[in-house]
Structure 1
Amino acid sequence: MITVAGLSPSLDLTYLVDSLTAGSIHRPTEVVRCAGGKPLNLARAAAALGAEVEIIAVLGGTTGEDLAQQLRAAGVAVTTVPTPAETRTCVSIADAETGRLTELYPRAEPIPGDVWRLFHDQLEAALVRRPGWLAITGSIPLGLPPEALAELVRTARGAGVRVAVDTHGPALAAVIEERPELVKINRYEVAELLGTTPEGELITRAETVRQRTGGTVLITDGEHGSVAIDDHGRWRVPAPAERGRFPVGSGDSFLGGLLSVLDTSDDLVAAIRTATGAGTANALIPGPARFRADDVSRIAEQLTLEEC
């Protein structure tokens, strides 16, 4: 079972245009509207790959109600924690002429103290009845201290649930001290965590993070692939040759694919194959975490990992 902490949801709108010109009127060739934000993307991706997923989500207004309905339709169980503010809307504009993506992402509204307490209580209740994994992903909402996410790790540990983390900045630094079982971050996030420049050998940095957590560490590097390390070995993972135009949600799909396998198996290599397939397949279709399962399988089967 995978339980997701849904602290930064959004309604994601993707507009496809032939050519984007500043100051002009555009007639999109397609508009994709779906539940988004990193935790919602992850939840939908994992569910699409067969995992049993529940999200505890802070949702507000009619937008929040719509997102909950979308998630349930996608096979995700949803526990809604109401908040006074309308859930945000994020916009991506895909320019077919240049292949570029323009993104407009407002910050999530602050979570009031009473909403945070209710969220924590609902999450704790879910973890008691749902063994497996807790996924903590995305930016920490405004108004919460970095230690708030570390508190969620301690709550999961009290319930005997493993924790997977994908965040950044001070929140990541606080969470690392709680030794989560899995950390998935990118080249820039690990550089910030370790106080180094982004350039450098990623497997060495993964080893450094692992020394602090004792768990599995994956560092993604966009079109250059990823590296991974756990109790059984170290791997360098090449990026598949296929490239999509719609990378929004690929990291979330990667983690959703990873957990969908690790939820029932300790085979990290198999999990990486599915994760890479999901992240790559995500970019082939507009809208986050809306990949085709057959694309995931095809890409995963073609992947060759290198031990290092």
Structure 2
Amino acid sequence: MARVVIFAPAPMLTVTVEELRGEADVHLHVGGQGVWQARMLASLGVDVVLVCTLTGEAGRVSRHLLDEEGFRVEAIQHEGISPAYIHDRRGGERVAVVEAEGERIPRHALDSLYSAMLREAADADLVILSGPDGERTLDADVYRRLASDMRQLGKPVLVDLAGDRMAAALEGGVDVLKVSHEELVEDGRVDDGDDESQLLAAARRLAADGIALVAVTRAEAGSIVVGEQGAWRVVAPELEPVDPRGAGDSYTAGLAAVLAAGGDHAQAVRTGAAAGAVNATRRGLGTGDAEAIRAIAEQVELQELGADDDDDPEEC
């Protein structure tokens, strides 16, 4: 069984209020990018280890909830204010009641977290570096160090990051990059996130810097992928979404599941697109039926993109 280790520095306790038979129905889960990726990977039959910190009282509750998720958790527990949110969905839409990003990870806890990553990566087939929601949680340079050290250990590195964290990880060296079109705009790598030629050119520039596979997701528009095995426009069946949150992280998990098992880029991209599409049809973030994902993956079309399909403004 393929083994994936996920760096998820600060998962959050999530409280969601739904309506059931006219009454408030309260749900407690642990969320955040790395947790949603781990949940989908476990659904796809991958052996997953989540390396994280858990903070304060909310962290102690999160520990119990994570133990029921179906993947192994290596948690550094410490006192402080935890990331958490309370959302009210009784009206059919998410209404944020409380959204707390939590405190910065203390130095000693961060040292322990880093050591846990080194220890767990020793037996990994692939490592995912994911980010916290909070901007102040940890310095971006941690991602440079981790990416560099994971590759020194001979482990493929997949990053799903943006901004300074993505730039830092790229400096350390990565094998697979998943990034959204909005994030490329925010980073100043493209001017128009709806312009496919700009997205393709940006992906090619990133791949030219030594990244084996670059996947640019565009929500319902489908992803643009550039890698050592080709450049593709990814067209997946248009399933009606219930909640699009978590679809990007499910896409990342689908990529990781195939690549960790030694699969090729084409199958990884098809599985990623299918995992994202199936997750969007559900209310559980990072969830999906493995057989449904595999069935949808067979219907994902990869349209080849040639050298004439982009018009890089830097080369005009």
TM-score by length of 1: 0.88
Structure 1 pair 302/42, CA: closer, same or farther in 2 (3 Å)? Answer: same
Structure 1 pair 210/193, CA: closer, same or farther in 2 (3 Å)? Answer: farther
1:66 Cα shift? 3.3
Q: Is 1:156 matched up with 2:156?
A: no
Task: Output one character per residue of 1:240-294: Cα deviation in whole Å (capped at 9) or x when no partner.
Answer: 2112121221111111111111111231111122211211111222131122223
**Which position in structure 1 is the counterpart of 2:273?**
276
Q: Which amino acid aligns with 1:123?
A: M
Contact 1:42 1:256 in 2 (8 A): yes
Contact 1:178 1:213 in 2 (8 A): no
Q: Residue 233 of structure 2 is aligned with which of 209, 232, 236?
A: 236
Superposed counterparts of 1:9-24, under 5 Å: 9-16=11-18
Q: Residue 210 of structure 1 is aligned with which of 204, 207, 212?
A: 207
Structure 2 gap segments, 5+ residues each: 306-316
Q: Is 1:191 matched up with 2:188?
A: no
Q: Which amino acid aligns with 2:159?
A: V
Structure 1 pair 198/8, CA: closer, same or farther in 2 (3 Å)? Answer: farther
**Which position in structure 2 is the counterpart of 1:132?**
125
Structure 1 pair 96/144, CA: closer, same or farther in 2 (3 Å)? Answer: closer
Q: Residue 113 of structure 1 is aligned with which of 107, 111, 132?
A: 107
TM-score by length of 2: 0.86
Q: Which amino acid aligns with 1:295?
A: A
Contact 1:185 1:218 in 2 (8 A): yes
1:110 Cα shift? 0.9
Task: Output one character per residue of 1:204-249: Cα deviation in whole Å (capped at 9) or x when no partner.
Answer: 2111111223321000001111011111101111242112121221
1:188 Cα shift? 1.5
Classify the secondary structure of the residue corresponding to 2:250.
Answer: helix
Q: Is 1:39 matched up with 2:41?
A: no
1:152 Cα shift? 0.9
Counterpart-to-counterpart distance in 2, 1:176 and 1:271: 21
**Which position in structure 2 is the counterpart of 1:23?**
none
**Which position in structure 2 is the counterpart of 1:8?**
10
Q: Which amino acid aligns with 1:223?
A: E
Contact 1:146 1:171 in 2 (8 A): yes
**Which position in structure 1 is the counterpart of 2:52?**
57
What is the number of residues matched between the two proteins?
297
**Which position in structure 1 is the counterpart of 2:302?**
305
Contact 1:110 1:143 in 2 (8 A): yes
Q: Residue 80 of structure 1 is aligned with which of 44, 68, 75?
A: 75
Contact 1:179 1:215 in 2 (8 A): no
Classify the secondary structure of the residue corresponding to 1:34.
Answer: strand
Q: Is 1:286 matched up with 2:294?
A: no
**Which position in structure 1 is the counterpart of 2:169?**
175
Task: Output one character per residue of 1:89-110: Cα deviation in whole Å (capped at 9) or x when no partner.
Answer: 224444666xx44445432321
Higher mean C-alpha displacement, 276-285 vs 223-232:
276-285
Structure 1 pair 214/256, CA: closer, same or farther in 2 (3 Å)? Answer: closer
Q: Which amino acid aligns with 2:46?
A: A
Structure 1 pair 306/15, CA: closer, same or farther in 2 (3 Å)? Answer: farther
Higher mean C-alpha displacement, 289-298 vs 78-87:
289-298
Structure 1 pair 105/278, CA: closer, same or farther in 2 (3 Å)? Answer: farther
Identity of aligned residues (%): 25
**Which position in structure 2 is the counterpart of 1:22?**
none
Counterpart-to-counterpart distance in 2, 1:49 and 1:193: 32
Counterpart-to-counterpart distance in 2, 1:281 and 1:150: 32
Q: Residue 266 of structure 1 is aligned with which of 244, 248, 263?
A: 263
Structure 1 pair 277/95, CA: closer, same or farther in 2 (3 Å)? Answer: farther
Higher mean C-alpha displacement, 131-140 vs 175-184:
131-140
1:165 Cα shift? 0.5
Higher mean C-alpha displacement, 222-231 vs 206-215:
206-215
Structure 1 pair 232/273, CA: closer, same or farther in 2 (3 Å)? Answer: same
Counterpart-to-counterpart distance in 1, 2:137 and 2:254: 31
